[in-house]
Every structure is written in C-alpha cells, then in structure tokens.
C-alpha cells in the first residue's frame, strides 16, 4: 500500500514559510482545530524544535495519533511519542507500522526542506496575518504542486489543498 506524505504549513501571503513565535501550523484556534482533525489517527513527523514549541504551547494531538520526533540527540525523550535519529530511520519506522495511510509533516523549516521532494500533498494556509511571521524560508511550491483540489476563503486568508500531480 502506498503511504501518502503530506505537509501542513502556514505561510504568509507572500507565499513563503515564515516562523511564528509559537511556531507550528496551529497558531489560531481555527488552525489548531484543522490540524487536529486532519492528523487524527494518522502519523505525524516533526523536528525537535517544533515539538518543543508544541509542548510549550500545550498543543497536543488527538488520541490515537502517532507523533514521531526527529532529533540526533540520543538522550532525548518525548513522552508518548516515538523518537527517530534520521529521516531514514523515520521512513523505516513508519513503514514498519501497520495501517498508516498518510504521514503528516508539520514542521519545522528544516524538516519541510529535507522532505520537500517527497511531499505528495500540501495542506497550505496562506494568511495575511503578518504579525506571527518573521523568517521567509519556504521553497517555491507553485510549480511543484500544480493541482488545487481545495480552496477555501477564510477570514484572514485562504486554505488550500495542493497535489504534486
Ligand atoms: N509556519 C508553519 O506552518 C510552521 C510549522 C512548524 C514550524 N514552524 C517554525 O519552524 C521553526 C522551527 O523550525 P526549525 O527548522 O528551526 O526546527 P525543527 O525542524 O522543528 O527542528 C529542528 C531539529 O530537528 C532535528 N532534526 C531535523 N532534521 C533532522 C535529521 N535529518 N536527523 C536528525 N535530527 C533532525 C534536529 O534536532 P537536534 O538538534 O536535537 O539533532 C534539529 O535541530 C519554529 O520556530 C516554528 O516557528 C512553522
């Protein structure tokens, strides 16, 4: 069975990833609800810095969601989560688990960049809320994800689902 690899990301209206102070794709209550709904019961891969921000921001994922944290730190422990030491190990671990249909990558920038070529789908929020951003780092995505399967106007921006092919 093919496993879909997706990214959930919030970008500014210049359409580049920019960091938020409590930076994960879930800064507004609405965005948090969306992330939780999307990932519920699936696997989520996250870099250590973003994981720590999620923990600080009390942003927990729904029960039954497998959270996998990427770090080279051999002593690092994340209660209730799996910890992997490389992208390769993440792939092996996730493929070894039964029933995974979609893996959601929810940041941070370093992980988006490393896995960019592997993403089949982007769940992308483009927001005009500049206040939460500071660092434009996201790769170009227009050419890579030409197919728009969902576009929903919201109060401060637009939510898209984009497919690689
Ligand atoms: N706008 C959005 O949608 C969104 C979403 C999520 C995050 N963010 C932003 O992204 C920022 C964090 O991004 P970041 O790039 O600084 O950090 P990150 O990707 O969350 O975490 C980086 C850490 O993950 C580990 N890691 C990454 N790749 C690895 C690999 N191949 N092998 C082993 N470990 C690996 C390393 O931990 P060790 O150093 O312990 O080895 C690395 O220092 C946050 O400030 C947040 O605001 C934005």
Closest-CA residue to 105 (of 93, 114, 97): 114
pLDDT at residue 25, rounded to an integer: 72
pLDDT at residue 82, rounded to an integer: 97
Domain ranges of the chain: 8-127
Parts of the chain with a pLDDT under 50: none
Which atom from ligand 1 is nearest to the alpha carbon of 110? 15
pLDDT at residue 19, rounded to an integer: 56
pLDDT at residue 94, rounded to an integer: 96
pLDDT at residue 16, rounded to an integer: 62
25 lines ligand 1 (CB under 6 A): yes
- State which H helix or E strand residue 143 sits in: none
Q: Are 75 and 124 in contact (CB under 8 A)?
A: no
Cα separation, 5 vs 17, in Å, equals 18
Burial status of residue 57 (CB atoms within 10 A of its CB: 0-12, 13-18, 19 or more): middle
* pTM for the model: 0.92
Cα separation, 67 vs 39, in Å, equals 10
- State which H helix or E strand residue 25 sits in: none
pLDDT at residue 134, rounded to an integer: 59
Pick the CATH number of 8-127 from 3.40.430.10, 3.50.50.60, 3.10.270.10, 3.90.660.20: 3.40.430.10
- State which H helix or E strand residue 10 sits in: strand 4-12
17-64 pLDDT, tens digit each:
555 555 677 777 888 899 999 999 999 999 999 999 888 778 889 999
Q: Ligand 1 test: best mutation among 44, 47, 52, most atoms within 8 Å of CB?
A: 47
């Amino acid at each position: 069975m093919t496993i879909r690899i997706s990214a959930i990301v919030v970008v500014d209206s210049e359409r580049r990833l920019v960091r938020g102070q409590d930076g994960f794709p879930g800064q507004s209550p609405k965005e948090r609800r969306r992330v939780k709904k999307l990932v519920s019961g699936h696997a989520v891969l996250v870099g250590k810095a973003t994981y720590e921000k999620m923990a600080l921001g009390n942003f927990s994922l729904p029960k039954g969601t497998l959270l996998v944290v990427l770090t080279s730190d051999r002593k690092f422990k994340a209660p209730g989560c799996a910890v992997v030491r490389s992208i390769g190990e993440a792939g092996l671990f996730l493929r070894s688990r039964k029933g995974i249909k979609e893996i959601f990558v929810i940041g941070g920038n370093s992980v988006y960049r490393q896995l960019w070529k592997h993403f089949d789908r982007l769940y992308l929020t483009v927001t005009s809320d500049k206040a939460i951003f500071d660092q434009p780092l996201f790769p170009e995505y227009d050419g890579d994800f030409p197919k728009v399967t969902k576009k929903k106007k919201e109060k401060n921006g637009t939510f898209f689902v984009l497919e690689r092919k």
